[in-house]
Structure 1
Amino acid sequence: MSVDSLRGHVWNDPDVPLLMDVFPRVTRGVAGILADMDEPDLAAQLLRQQFHGRCDCRPGCRFILTAPPGSSGSGMLWLEMSGDVVGEVSLDPRGEFVTNFDIGGCEALGVPPNWLDVVAPTSVPRRVDEQ
């Protein structure tokens, strides 16, 4: 996939659930942080992105994919709340959308530390973080 084909792209694979449908609280939380960090376009885009599973780069990786594997560029942002880093997002090569993210400060978003472990990598994702 060329960099030009990624520009402003929101994948619309009917077999891939929306991130908002699988992790609504986390998605809204990360989007809110991005908006508070003066990244409203990234925030709005994230709310429409799909859940492409967990990163499998190594056992225990806590990143979730919001775009197909291989979509990331070298850009990233620390997610900050009240001066504390609570996570990070990776961006596409042009810095126009989030390709994956990790939340280290779960308490800041009001989600349990095991929010991601509830969905097994091979299972059909279901809404888990509103419990």
Structure 2
Amino acid sequence: MIKPLITVENVSRDFGPQPALKDLNFQVDQGEIFGIIGPDGAGKTTLFRIMATLLLADRGEVMMDGMDVVRDFRTLRKHLGYMPGRFSLYQDLTVEENLNFFATVFNTTIKENYSLIKDIYVQIEPFKKRRAGALSGE
């Protein structure tokens, strides 16, 4: 039996009178490729912030690799990384310089963990010398 890697059950989050997420349910199994798409305001960023232990859901439960994102947030933060699309990179540094900087924040290097990031790194490698401020945001 395949153990779920991510389980989201009845997750809701409101910002004032505006619901960002309402009774969201899904499961991602180990080895499964799963994407979350939707228009602006659909709740994608809110969901990822909840999953990354940066925001609390108003209702519901999120489990990541068998750990509760609220109860086990300290342990999860040692295994999770979250980089939002906006305001996350130093605009005056290149992509490569940003990657190196964030690696050093976590006491590692790109070279040391290349096997873990290779699939993504090869996709961004053509842009590694480009300043982050010059990257497309669309």
- Per the normalisation by structure 2, the TM-score is 0.24
Structure in which a larger fraction of residues adopt helix: 2
Which of structures 1 and 2 has the larger relative contact order (alpha carbons within 8 angstroms, sep 6+)? 1
Larger Rg, first or second structure (1 or 2) = 2
